[in-house]
Structure 1
Amino acid sequence: MSSESNVLDSDVEHVISSALQSASDVVYVLDPTPEIVVSLVEVAAEAASPPTIRVLADKQLLKDVMDDFLVASNAADLVVSGTLELRVTAEPVENTLLVTDSSVVAVVSAGDQVAGLQTDDEAFVEGANDAYSEQFQEAEEFRLRTPALSAVRTSLEEDLGEAVRSDFDAVLGVLETVRSDGPGLDEVTISLLVAAKNDVLLYDVSKWGEDVGIASKATFSRTKTELEDLGLIETEKVPIDVGRPRLRLRLGDDRLHDADPDELVTAARDVLE
């Protein structure tokens, strides 16, 4: 055990970052906690040249973590680029392990501190890589349902305009989490609020959302009705040449049109929570 290369910190992200820096090729991550999965995504998304990260985790844990749009959409970008691979394991280990080509790190939590206990014994490291490489190849792939954030941003600008994409980015920037399984703002709500701030048609934003893979048109319509009932947005009928009029989205309070992202998020949270 190489004590001089152990890492002790109150921030799991620092421990993860230190472990990934020692990996030149592939790192296997075994049985991570939700916090470690989030940190892996954040660290890898910000790294200039991260190693390939192969995660073996409990299926329900991955589902719960990836219900956060911010985490899942960034993870999807990493999957598309080949940086991140997610697979399911039914064989938990005693502590979370990070196995690189040069070390094995056990991540251990104690109160408000996290330690990365590391060994670089060549025989042990080689054996761990062989064992977990084989286990990874045999494991079931975990498929993300959330679109990559880069695809969301690109299509948003192409389909609905630069101002909508800019507002969408700004709102995401002030949020720590975007989940659909609790109170607050999820990705559909954010999309509709930003669309309303820019007077976009419901048809256009819901078609964009369905095409890019955020949610179905029906989900957008249902959420629109909920936000309208709460007074957060309102609609205006816009006649078209053929068929039923379409609905233009507007914010329920005109003062929010010029609101900054913090003010828009605060106003929405006050009503939704």
Structure 2
Amino acid sequence: MVSNLRGDDRQGAIEAILGAIDGDVVLVDPSPETFRALVDYGTASVDALPEISVLADEDVLKDVRDDFLVASDAADLVEAEKMELRVLDGVAENTVFVGADDLYALVPASESVAALAATDEEFVADAHETFTERFEAAEAFDLRTPGITRVRETMDEDIGPDARADFDAVLASLETARGNGEGLDEVTISLLVAAKNEALLYDISKWGEDIGIASKATFSRTKTELEDMGIIDTEKVPIDVGRPRLRLKFGDTPLADASSDELAAVADRVLN
């Protein structure tokens, strides 16, 4: 018999739902909080994750894309072919997880989150067909963000293992990575890590462009802004042919003595 499910929080409820549904799942109209909880659960349990077709409001997907912490984890799931994102056309009314034989509506309360099960088999079959067709007809959504696994692996190879460790520590210290006063964005984080490790601007910007974080021009522009604010410094490094390249460093700034997990907080105070 199908029964209602419950979790202490959204992630707990999602874990219960995905454990109860046999086979692939269509997630319809998730809130930003539900999408983040799904990504958190999927990142920690990728091997056990079914293939999930997410049909979400475009504003929700754009909100996710703007936060590098969530977007890069979601991109990992997309690259692992565990998740596909499409834009919801119209209104769905409720956040539901739909399988071939199961349907659960997610209902948050003050102290727990319930997953209310549909018991009418005919209704479940109709809902599955309806939302599967809507997903197949929907426009695909591009996160335009590299998966965090690829980011870490390539930073380790192109910039160095110490820089990769600093990068991980900075991300772990943040709740969001958006810029605009809501945490540092991914370009600023990369440049701070490069300065801490005294890497070349050319190397970090080429890495960032190659991996799909941002263009070399964006890295250069952000470097200039950080330099103008006295957050980072540069020195010229001669090369055999062509113009000298710039080495990033902190110089005499509060960031010079900051540990990796303090870097974001110190930079954020200086920036704001």
Under a length normalisation based on structure 2, what TM-score does the superposition of the two structures give? 0.92
Distance in 2 separating the partners of 1:106 and 1:26: 16
Partners of 1:120 and 1:168 in 2: CA distance: 48
CA distance in structure 1 between the aligned counterparts of 2:4 and 2:115, rounded to whole angstroms: 9
CA distance in 2, matches of 1:256, 1:180: 18
Give the aligned partner of residue 66 of structure 1.
65
* In 2, Cα distance between equivalents of 1:255 and 1:65: 32
Structure 1 counterpart of 2:169: 170
Partner-residue secondary structure (3-state), 2:48:
coil
Structure 1 runs (4+) greater than 6 angstroms displaced? none
Partner of 1:122: 121
RMSD: 2.0
SS at match of 1:140: coil
Give the aligned partner of residue 206 of structure 2.
Answer: 207
The Cα shift of 1:258 comes to 5.5
Shift of the alpha carbon at 1:197? Answer: 0.5
State the shift of 1:240 in Å.
1.4
- TM-superposed deviation, 1:152: 0.9
> What is aligned with 1:105?
104
> How many pairs are equivalent?
271
| Residues 238 and 245 in structure 1, CA contact (< 8 A), matched pair in contact too | yes
Tell me the distance in 1 between the aligned counterparts of 2:63 and 2:226: 25
2:136 equivalent in structure 1: 137
The 8 Å contact of residues 183 and 272 in structure 1, kept in 2 or not, is answered as: no
Matches within 5 A, 1:77-88: 77-88=76-87
Task: Give me the whole-angstrom Cα distance separating, in 1, the residues matched to 2:265 and 2:69.
Answer: 18
Residues 186 and 213 in structure 2, CA contact (< 8 A), matched pair in contact too: yes
Q: Which amino acid aligns with 2:25?
A: V
Matches within 5 A, 1:1-273: 4-7=3-6, 9=8, 11-47=9-45, 48-110=47-109, 114-253=113-252, 256-257=255-256, 259-273=258-272
Please, what TM-score do these two structures have when normalized by structure 1?
A: 0.92
Decide whether the 8 Å contact of 2:146 with 2:211 is kept in 1.
yes
Mean CA deviation greater in 189-198 or 220-229: 220-229
- 8 A contact 1:95–1:108 mirrored in 2: no
- For structure 1, the residue ranges without an aligned partner over 5 or more in a row are none
* Contact 1:67/1:181 (<8 A) preserved: no
For residue 163 of structure 2, give the secondary structure of its aligned residue in structure 1: helix
Contact 1:188 1:214 in 2 (8 A): yes
Q: Indicate conservation of the 8 Å contact 1:235/1:248, yes or no.
A: yes
CA distance in 2: counterparts of 1:215 and 1:270, whole angstroms: 24
**Matched residues, percent identical?**
55
Instruction: Output the amino acid matched with 1:250.
Output: K
Cα separation, 1, equivalents of 2:253 and 2:60: 41
Aligned equivalents of 2:40 and 2:14: distance in 1? 10
- 2: CA distance between counterparts of 1:111 and 1:134? 34
Instruction: Kindly indicate whether the alpha-carbon contact (under 8 Å) linking 2:176 and 2:182 is maintained by their aligned counterparts in 1.
Output: no
Moved more, 239-248 or 76-85: 239-248
Q: CA deviation at 1:180?
A: 3.6
1:57-86 residue CA offsets vs partner (Å, 9 max, x unmatched): 111221112210111111111111110011
**Hey, what's the Cα distance between the residues in 2 that align with 1:101 and 1:251?**
56
CA 1:135–1:255 in structure 2 vs 1: closer, same or farther (change >3 Å)? closer
Q: Deviations over 1:226-267 (max 9, x none)?
A: 111222110011111222211110014467456322321221
- Contact 2:167 2:193 survives alignment (8 Å): yes
Structure 2 unaligned residues grouped into runs of 5+: none
